Amino acid sequence: MPNAQPLPVAVRPAAPRARPPRRVNVWLHVALLPLALTALLAYLASTVWTVALSFTGSRMFPSSRFVGLAQYERLFASERWSIAIDNLLFFAVFSILLCTLVGFLLAVFIDQKIRAESLFRSIFLYPFALSMVVTGLVWQWVLNPEMGLQAAVRDWGWQSFTLDWIVSEDKVMYCVVLAGVWNGSGFMMALLLAGLRGVDEEVWKAARLDGIPVWRTYFSIVLPMLSGTVATALTLQLIGSIKVYDVVVAMTRGGPGLASEVPARFIMENIGSRSNLGQAAAASTVLLVTAVALLVPYHYLRKHQAAKSGHGA
Amino acid sequence: MSSHRPRPRIATAHAVAALVLVLAGWLTIAGTAAAQTAEVIHWWTSKGESAAVNELAAAYRKAGGTWVDTAIAGGDNARNLALTRMAGGKPPTVTQFNASLQFHEIIEEGLLNTIDAVAVPQGWDRLLPEPLRNFVKVGGHYWAVPVNIHNTNWFWYSKAVLAKAGVTAEPANMDEFFVALDKVKASGAIALSLGGQGWQELMLFNAVLHAAGGQDLYRRFYTSADGAVALTPEFKKVLADFKRLKNYVDRGSPNRDWNVASALIIADKAGFQVMGDFVKAEFEAARKVAGRDYGCFAGFGPKAPFVIDGDVFVFPKSPDPQVVRAQQLFAKVIMSKEAQVAFNRKKGSVPVRADVDMGEVDLCTALGLAGLRDPSRHVPSVEQMVAPEKNAAIGDAITEFWNTRQTVDRAARALAASLRM
Amino acid sequence: MTAASSILATLPPSRPAAPTAPHGRPRRRRFTPARVGVYAFLCVAAAFFLLPLYVMLVTSFKTMDEIRSSSIFALPWRPTFDAWVQAWSSACTGLECRGVSVGFWNSVLIVVPSVVASIAVGAVNGYALSLWRPRYGNALFAILMIGVFVPAQVVLVPLVRMLAGVGLFGSLPALVVVHTIFGMPIMTLLFRNYYGSLPDELFKAARIDGGGFWRIFWSVMLPMSTPMLIVAAIMQVTGVWNDYLMGLIFGGSGMVPMTVQLNNIVNSTFGEKAYNVNMAATLLTSAVPLLVYLVSGRWFVRGIASGAVKG
């Protein structure tokens, strides 16, 4: 075969990553034992148990009294649950969107060779160090109409200032989103800043030469380059959003009335004070199915994209 | 044979005997101490509550026991922890619980030890007020030791605000109450201080139910299985009265904590608050005096229903005789007159046995004791009559009615549906 | 020299070892409107982010009378450390009134082994899954990624039974195992992505050199993992320190973390709310993660820049 020289490493086309030869590698399997145990026992078995429980009439304790789909019927007829789901959608969509947007803006601005960059970065990142309980508590104090911002501004003279969202049924979820964005934007900023820093100077120069305005460069060229990082970050945020609980409990306790109820809180209440494990299990199963319904197509989409770009990731 | 030879052997024997005796003594003491070690889960974490529970711990220690404290704020948190640990096989020795039907389910699951060994000789049948006795004695056995009695049907008011508004006497029924509220509102203060949280709204509703409907309607409502009582005109009037109270509550009420609502009374910014007896601790912390700065009455009129609600301790099942001994000692100590007096003085609640002498008490405690000693006024608490889920559904319906523009009829139908659960 | 290290030496720097200088317009220190705009935006954003911290600090230095009578933004007239002292050593958390200090060392004892264990397991998992690719790897990983959406309390009862069954309940080892279990999905995700983004040749060369599973991990992969280890450590220290539920249930009565003390102080069902003490206690409990972020914020960003958290 002519020209049988192997190409230099850097130029060789990216071959699909080959599987290591199939020797019996004991250590590999031993090392993965914790993963296997955790996945199979702690996650799979527990999840199966939960799903099974959702078909029983369990009250405070697990029971094996089969009730068919009765728990699901109850669940879907429950006003509290439908409010919870609505709130979850609202919270997930808006907090993820805003965190990403705010994080991106902050990253872009910090990236502008400013002075005191470390200071600004610490200011934006520190809320992420606080637990969601603390986040909820602190924003509840600030947004409290009698004790917080509204009272303070009125004291300063602006008598008609109103910021009583947290006690209003329609607007309380805005407050929860606000607290979530305050907590999580810094993390997005850190991610995106790191990504921005990794963008080669050449790209900027080329874009400038082509006459592309700066903001377009960000959106059409740079952002797509960060897609991997953004995707992982979005996954992490989605996980956090679906399980949102602490911040709601600390901030509003699901109130006023039922207005800020969320699925995780619905589930906890049913496990605890309402003593209805069956409902809690049904609600958890619904959450799970929703998550799977979102993740599976997403996973295949990424795989498809990765295959298209010849990447072995 | 020289005479000195046997001496070392005797000395050794003496030494060994002494050592054995010391060891036996130490083991016995250690064994006895271990036998009386009780790990206690409870949710009394605030300053006032801590002082009260310290009285119990001191009494337990005096009786020879060791108290290992596991305090968790939030009743639900503490109960969940206790239940999880029971499920996990590492239960605490004793855990606090509410007097509620939740506790019946635990008994059914066989997770508790009985305390008959203490209850029967001490004659709890005679000592406890009937609703409480019916509650802790299930299937002929005693399963919990009650610690105190809370009445949730208290009205508190600021003397200064009422005086300024021209209210000269405590209202004796709902109509007079509305008149008083009008006067306070007209004088510029907040008429009714309420924390807009589900449980507070429910407490207010129950107070109105007692006042407007009396013992009979209260019992009929909560024991109803078909919900028909909710659709009667009598009950609908209760709902209307309840909603009418909303006119007297200020805009900042939603999600306000109960003690912030009390603070408004203390600061003479609000007139009335309807809340349980734990409010007293707030007044005392602010150095207010009953009868001078604030007033109290346990429902309207001298025959107002007196709710027998309270905290109990239950004993998770264990075959270990040491644990059982500790549990029994614990029960004895809790029921003793000294511990009852000491604890309830600090806590602001009322002892579970009517035969104690509380000594010098303030106005509000005296009213509470009067209520305790009049069995005709006693009614069980809601949690004792209604399963947790149904209770929660009723709570949801009430909070929805309070917070939205729902009509009385819709609310009545929603409540009827909850009752049918 | 091994094949692996020789390959390392010849690789072009495809990724900056440290973040390059900021981008944006070339150096222009004049006060153009754009420049002013940038600073203005950043300052407004900073005010928003600092607002709650300011409120917490300011309130913690006031007396309760001041709090009742002034707005939350007002500076204290007569600042006092009383609330801080109380929060640390004399606030009531149950029978005892010894503040949050009781839980501090417990939290330290819990965090150190838990972070080490969960990162170690996550790193090994990520390494095995992305480079060795066992056949069942994807299935296990998928289970983790789905299971992470179930709220912890739901799986608590079966988990408690399982762990108690092997004698792991109510002790520090139990807690370390539990934190490892609940940290595994995210840690594995991060490390798997990280190792997957490293050049293929590295691993291939190491195998050619005859390295076994552990050898390659220890001498080749681990040294290259520093950025990711830092990111993971920061996230795990925060997560484990701020945890409340697991510490409460699995720790046993002698190993109660600071967060439980904090909850007992702030959320007492019936009692006067001493806001100044509550805020001081909150700040004290959050001090460790805050410090970690303040001190290592730059490493966090660098770690991510060096390839951690790639999709």
pLDDT of B19 over the 80 cut: no
B98 found inside a domain: yes
B23 found inside a domain: no
Interchain contact, B45 vs C160, CB within 8 Å: no
B404 reaches A (C-beta below 8 A): yes
The reported pLDDT for the residue numbered B33 is 45
Chain B: nearest CA to C193, how far in angstroms? 36
pLDDT of B3 over the 50 cut: no
Q: Looking at the structure, do residues B56 and B94 belong to the same domain, yes or no?
A: yes
* Chain B CB contacts of C269 below 8 Å: 43, 45-46, 73-75
A272 → closest Cβ in B79, B109, B400 = B79
A144-171: average pLDDT: 82
Interchain contact, A275 vs B256, CB within 8 Å: no
Interchain contact, C12 vs A10, CB within 8 Å: yes
Q: How confident is the model at residue A288 (pLDDT cuts 50, 70, 90)?
A: confident
C92-110: average pLDDT: 88
Q: Looking at the structure, do residues B241 and B318 belong to the same domain, yes or no?
A: no
Residues C181-208: tens digit of each pLDDT: 999 999 999 899 888 888 888 888 888 8
Q: Looking at the structure, do residues B116 and B71 belong to the same domain, yes or no?
A: yes
Q: How confident is the model at residue C166 (pLDDT cuts 50, 70, 90)?
A: confident
Q: Check residues B408 and B22 and name the one with the higher pLDDT.
A: B408
Helix (H) or strand (E) run with residue B42 in it: strand B37-42
Q: What average pLDDT does chain C have? A: 82
A280 found inside a domain: no
Closest alpha carbon to C194 in C306, C60, C111: C306
B375-381: average pLDDT: 88
Two structure tokens written together for B124: 């709890």
Interchain contact, A10 vs C213, CB within 8 Å: no
The reported pLDDT for the residue numbered B87 is 75
Q: Is the peptide bond before C22 cis (omega within 30 degrees of 0)?
A: no
Domain that holds residue A240: 86-260
Q: Looking at the structure, do residues B260 and B276 belong to the same domain, yes or no?
A: yes
Two structure tokens written together for C68: 């009742």
- Judge contact between A28 and C134, C-beta under 8 A: yes
Q: Looking at the structure, do residues B175 and B257 belong to the same domain, yes or no?
A: yes
A121 found inside a domain: yes
The reported pLDDT for the residue numbered B74 is 79
The mean-pLDDT minimum among A254-258, B271-275, B326-330 falls in A254-258
The reported pLDDT for the residue numbered C45 is 93
Report ipTM for this prediction: 0.81
The mean-pLDDT minimum among A97-101, B183-187, B301-305, C109-113 falls in B301-305
C302 reaches A (C-beta below 8 A): yes
Q: Looking at the structure, do residues B73 and B96 belong to the same domain, yes or no?
A: yes
Residues 6+ apart with CB under 8 A from B365: B280, B348, B350, B358
B5 found inside a domain: no
Domain that holds residue B109: 28-148+310-360
Q: Looking at the structure, do residues B143 and B163 belong to the same domain, yes or no?
A: no
A253 → closest Cβ in B197, B251, B404 = B197
Q: How confident is the model at residue B44 (pLDDT cuts 50, 70, 90)?
A: confident
According to the per-residue pLDDT averaged within each range, which of B17-31, B78-92, C215-229 is highest? Answer: C215-229
Two structure tokens written together for B134: 């019916």
A91 found inside a domain: yes
Interchain contact, B392 vs A145, CB within 8 Å: no
pLDDT of A37 over the 60 cut: yes
B355 found inside a domain: yes
Q: Looking at the structure, do residues B302 and B399 belong to the same domain, yes or no?
A: yes
Closest alpha carbon to C310 in A230, A190, A106, A186: A230
Which of 24-63 (C) contact A at CB < 8 A?
Answer: 24-25, 27, 38-39, 41-42, 45-46, 48-53, 55-56, 59
Interchain contact, B252 vs A146, CB within 8 Å: yes
The reported pLDDT for the residue numbered C85 is 92
Q: Looking at the structure, do residues B300 and B317 belong to the same domain, yes or no?
A: no
Q: How far apart are CA B280 and CA B292, in angstroms?
A: 14
The CATH number that applies at residue A225 is 1.10.3720.10
Q: What are phi and psi of B68, to 5 degrees?
A: -100, 120
Residues B333-357: tens digit of each pLDDT: 999 999 999 998 888 788 888 788 8
Interchain contact, C73 vs A44, CB within 8 Å: no
The reported pLDDT for the residue numbered C14 is 39
pLDDT of C18 over the 60 cut: no
Hey, what domains does chain C have and what are their CATH numbers?
15-80 (no CATH), 101-305 (1.10.3720.10)
Q: How confident is the model at residue C5 (pLDDT cuts 50, 70, 90)?
A: very low
pLDDT of B8 over the 60 cut: no
Interchain contact, C270 vs B49, CB within 8 Å: yes
Q: What average pLDDT does chain A have? A: 82
A123-145: average pLDDT: 88
Q: How far apart are CA A274 and CA A266, in angstroms?
A: 10
Query: For chain C, where are the alpha helices, taking DSSP H only?
Result: 3-10, 33-60, 64-69, 82-85, 101-127, 137-147, 156-165, 172-197, 200-208, 213-216, 226-241, 245-250, 258-266, 275-305
Q: Which residues of A sit within 8 Å Cβ distance of B?
A: 59-61, 79-80, 140, 145-146, 164, 166-167, 169, 252-253, 255-258, 269, 271-276
DSSP string covering B290-326: BTTTEEEESSSSTT--EEEB-EEEE-B----HHHHHH
Cα A305-A309-A311 angle, rounded to 5 deg = 95
C64 reaches B (C-beta below 8 A): no
**Preferred mutation among B83, B84, B277 to probe C, highest tally of C CBs within 10 A:** B84
Q: How far apart are CA C189 and CA C250, in angstroms?
A: 25
Q: How confident is the model at residue A9 (pLDDT cuts 50, 70, 90)?
A: very low
A118 → closest Cβ in C180, C212, C298 = C298
Note the pTM of the prediction, 2 decimals. 0.81
The CATH number that applies at residue B213 is 3.40.190.10
Residues 6+ apart with CB under 8 A from A41: C162
Interchain contact, B71 vs C161, CB within 8 Å: no
- Judge contact between B277 and B170, C-beta under 8 A: no
Chain C: nearest CA to A2, how far in angstroms? 25
The reported pLDDT for the residue numbered B62 is 93
A72 found inside a domain: no
Q: How confident is the model at residue B99 (pLDDT cuts 50, 70, 90)?
A: confident
B20 found inside a domain: no
Domain count, chain A: 1
Residue written as token pair 């009037």? B237
B354 reaches A (C-beta below 8 A): no
Interchain contact, C305 vs A198, CB within 8 Å: yes
A103 found inside a domain: yes
Q: How far apart are CA C254 and CA C233, in angstroms?
A: 26
B258 found inside a domain: yes
Distances (CA, A) of B121 to B126, B142, B332: 11, 12, 10
Q: What average pLDDT does chain B have? A: 84
A244 found inside a domain: yes
B400 reaches A (C-beta below 8 A): yes
Domain count, chain B: 2
pLDDT of B11 over the 70 cut: no
C142-155: average pLDDT: 82
B88 → closest Cβ in C94, C164, C263 = C164
B229-245: average pLDDT: 91
* Chain C CB contacts of A146 below 8 Å: none
The reported pLDDT for the residue numbered C4 is 43
Q: Check residues C65 and A91 and name the one with the higher pLDDT.
A: A91
What's chain A's length in residues?
313
Q: Which residues of B sit within 8 Å Cβ distance of C?
A: 39, 42-50, 53-54, 57, 67-75, 77, 81, 84-85, 87-90, 257-260, 263, 267, 278, 281-282, 285
Q: Please tell me which residue of chain C has the smallest CA distance to B42.
A: C94
How many percent of chain A have pLDDT more than 90? 21
Q: Looking at the structure, do residues B301 and B197 belong to the same domain, yes or no?
A: yes
Q: Looking at the structure, do residues B411 and B302 belong to the same domain, yes or no?
A: yes
The reported pLDDT for the residue numbered A312 is 43
Q: Looking at the structure, do residues B169 and B273 belong to the same domain, yes or no?
A: yes
* Residue C170: strand, helix, or coil: coil
Closest alpha carbon to C189 in C250, C238, C243, C146: C146
C34-45: average pLDDT: 89
Residues 6+ apart with CB under 8 A from B265: B156, B157, B158, B161, B193, B271, B272, B273, B294
B13 found inside a domain: no
